[in-house]
Amino acid sequence: MRINRVFFLPSILYLFLFAATAFSEDTLYIQPFRAKIYSKPSIASEILCAVDSGYHFVPIGKEGNWVKLSYYGKKGFIPASQTAKTPPLGKSSSQAAVTSPKLGIRARTSSTSAVVAGMKGLTYEDRARVSKGERSDFDALEKIDALKLSPEEVSLFLLEGGKR
Amino acid sequence: MKLLILFLAIWTLFALQARITQADEVNSCEWRARSSDIDRDTYSESDTEEEINFGREIAARILGQFKMAGNAKLQKYVNLVGTAVSRNCNRPDLVFHFVVIESSEVNAYSTPGGYVFITTALLEKMGNEAELAGVLAHEIGHVSERHIVKELSLRGTEKSAVSSIAALLGGASKSAEIAFLQAVDKAVELILRDGFKKEDELQADSSAVLLCALSGYDPEGLVTLLDKIGKIKTGVGKTYPVYDVRLATLQKVISDEGISHMKLALNTERFVKAMQVEKGSNPLSIIQKVISGGVHE
């Protein structure tokens, strides 16, 4: 009797945990900035509504490359490629950083990796040697990073282009 | 008690069956699965940061070879088109940058972390905004699928792809530093000279079709542009898949997704206007080019 109890209790716990894990992994998270929910598994079908990045749901079906979901009583479809089993990752701070530490001539770049390399003592001569003398333009890169667009500008641009 | 165990056993079997069915479905649509369920779940925020840092080194190298086109309005226009498309991609962790560079090579390049470059020569071949969106979506596909990162960790498992770069960045030894810069060299060579492998190009094409359509652009834009470039057959990487194969793949995805009969935007007028700014004059030649390219609104 005691042996039975010793065997049954962990078994129940194991079965319960296993099944619970299997189901919880089915939760999907919306990845893009905003994703549209379609009435059918086709981009050509009617757009029912849109959900923001990070919205999570348990799919109620799958058709080809589309996931079926229920959203406030409406059943719709979303491309599987716009979903993942993990929440969307946040914007990286390395791109958001405007200024970077200055470590003299060896660290004139704004890149963390280059700063790391500079701190490790890699000289420009070393870099030139391993880089076959290739030239890098970090000033231009900083100009590119500075060219920021606001979400409003992008939305207006899309609206002017007549895109849904 | 026995009933409870029986119930839990059935529940477990049901859960197992559901997972097996799901796995079968994943196998049947591999190119999408790689970008969604399986691959992305293995990366963390620190991986993204390292990917961006690595990409910045490569981008700086590209900028060391090609000058940024001076026209600020054109740069902003291309950035707007690219950003509008990138909003629908599966990498919200990245800030994409789209840059016009001066080059007579008909080409576009992208680095890990979201730096996308398009040459002035390729822009001149275009007749509408949908073609531009198609090229940028193709490059976004390379970035979001981490093609460079995967290629460099070479033939390793996908799980180890970023970890290799993390190890290089985090390594304290001199050899690790040199290995990191050699990886940058290799990536630059891959982007500017060798090109991506065929499967990656086709995957980026497939993903571009979906991205364009989701963003409201006609994915046929990429088809018409590839057709034009294919006829010229100059200035492309040596490992670019044969254009006929790429065109056939694009047409298949467009057909499979039921997009072919949709009326999506080409935005020819806006594109022509933006290009007039680039040229500074002679809008007539651009309009003639659009007409001769057989582009329809």
What is the tens place of the pLDDT at every residue in B265-281?
Answer: 999 999 999 998 655 54
Average pLDDT over residues B76-85: 96
CA distance readout (Å), B163 to B43, B47, B150: 9, 7, 10
For residue A90, the model assigns a pLDDT of: 75
Strands A66-71 and A61-63: antiparallel
A104 to chain B, closest Cα gap in Å:
18
> Domain boundaries in chain A?
1-90, 93-160
For residue B51, the model assigns a pLDDT of: 85
pLDDT above 90 coverage of chain B, percent: 45
**Angle between helix B198-214 and helix B220-232 axes, rounded to 10 deg:** 140
Interchain CB distance below 8 Å, B94 and A91: yes
For Cα atoms B207, B212, B217, give the angle at the middle one, nearest 5 degrees.
165
Radius of gyration of chain B (CA): 22
Q: Which residues of B219-250 are buried (b: 16+ CB within 10 A; e: fewer)?
A: bbbbbbbbbbbeeeeeebbeebbebeebbebb
pLDDT above 70 coverage of chain A, percent: 57
CB B107 within 8 A of CB B235: yes
For residue A89, the model assigns a pLDDT of: 81
For residue A88, the model assigns a pLDDT of: 85
Encoded tokens for A80 = 């599987």
For Cα atoms A60, A63, A69, give the angle at the middle one, nearest 5 degrees.
30
Q: Which of A22, A134, A138 sits opposite B188 (nearest CB)?
A: A134
B26 to chain A, closest Cα gap in Å:
9
Write down the pTM of the prediction. 0.75
**Angle between helix B161-170 and helix B45-65 axes, rounded to 10 deg:** 80
Encoded tokens for B297 = 């609104």
Encoded tokens for B84 = 């509008």
Residue in A36, A63, A81 to test binding to B, most B beta-carbons within 10 Å: A81
CB B15 within 8 A of CB A24: no
CA distance readout (Å), A149 to A155, B56, B108, B211, B259: 10, 19, 21, 20, 30
The residue ranking higher by pLDDT, B179 or B185, is B185
Radius of gyration of chain A (CA): 26
pLDDT digit string (tens) for B212-237?
Answer: 999 999 999 999 999 888 876 544 44
Average pLDDT over residues B126-140: 97
Task: Name the B residues in 142-181 with CB < 8 Å from any A CB.
Answer: 169, 172, 174, 177-178, 180-181
Tell me whether B93 touches chain A (CB under 8 Å): yes
pLDDT beyond 80 at B46: no
The residue ranking higher by pLDDT, A136 or B3, is A136
pLDDT beyond 80 at B97: yes
Interchain CB distance below 8 Å, B258 and A153: no
Average pLDDT over residues B85-89: 94
**Angle between helix B2-28 and helix A2-24 axes, rounded to 10 deg:** 30
For residue B152, the model assigns a pLDDT of: 82
What confidence tier does B287 reach under pLDDT thresholds 50, 70, 90? Answer: very low
pLDDT beyond 70 at B209: yes
- Complex ipTM more than 0.95, yes or no: no
For residue B98, the model assigns a pLDDT of: 97
Q: Looking at beta carbons, which residues of chain B come within 8 Å of A147?
A: 75-76, 79, 97
pLDDT along chain A (164 residues), means of 10: 60 55 70 92 91 92 92 91 86 47 32 45 52 76 92 91 67
What confidence tier does B67 reach under pLDDT thresholds 50, 70, 90? Answer: very high
The residue ranking higher by pLDDT, A132 or B136, is B136
For residue B260, the model assigns a pLDDT of: 85
What confidence tier does B151 reach under pLDDT thresholds 50, 70, 90? Answer: confident
Q: Can you tell me the distance from the alpha carbon of A105 to that of A114, in angstroms, rounded to the nearest whole number?
A: 11
Residue B265, classified by CB atoms within 10 Å of its CB into exposed (0-12), middle (13-18) or buried (19+), is buried
Tell me whether B270 touches chain A (CB under 8 Å): yes
The residue ranking higher by pLDDT, A100 or B248, is B248
- The mean pLDDT of chain B is 78
Interchain CB distance below 8 Å, A147 and B75: yes
Homologous superfamily (CATH) of A1-90 is SH3 Domains (2.30.30.40)
What confidence tier does B241 reach under pLDDT thresholds 50, 70, 90? Answer: low
Q: Looking at beta carbons, which residues of chain B come within 8 Å of A95?
A: 52, 94-95, 113-114
Q: Can you tell me the distance from the alpha carbon of B108 to that of B64, in angstroms, rounded to the nearest whole number?
A: 16
Tell me whether B257 touches chain A (CB under 8 Å): yes
For residue B171, the model assigns a pLDDT of: 57
For residue B216, the model assigns a pLDDT of: 92
Give the count of beta carbons closer than 10 Å to the beta carbon of residue A101. 11
For residue B83, the model assigns a pLDDT of: 96
Residue B140, classified by CB atoms within 10 Å of its CB into exposed (0-12), middle (13-18) or buried (19+), is buried
CB B99 within 8 A of CB B115: yes
Which candidate, B208, B38, B196, places its Cα nearest to that of B137?
B208
Q: Can you tell me the distance from the alpha carbon of A91 to that of A35, in angstroms, rounded to the nearest whole number?
A: 18
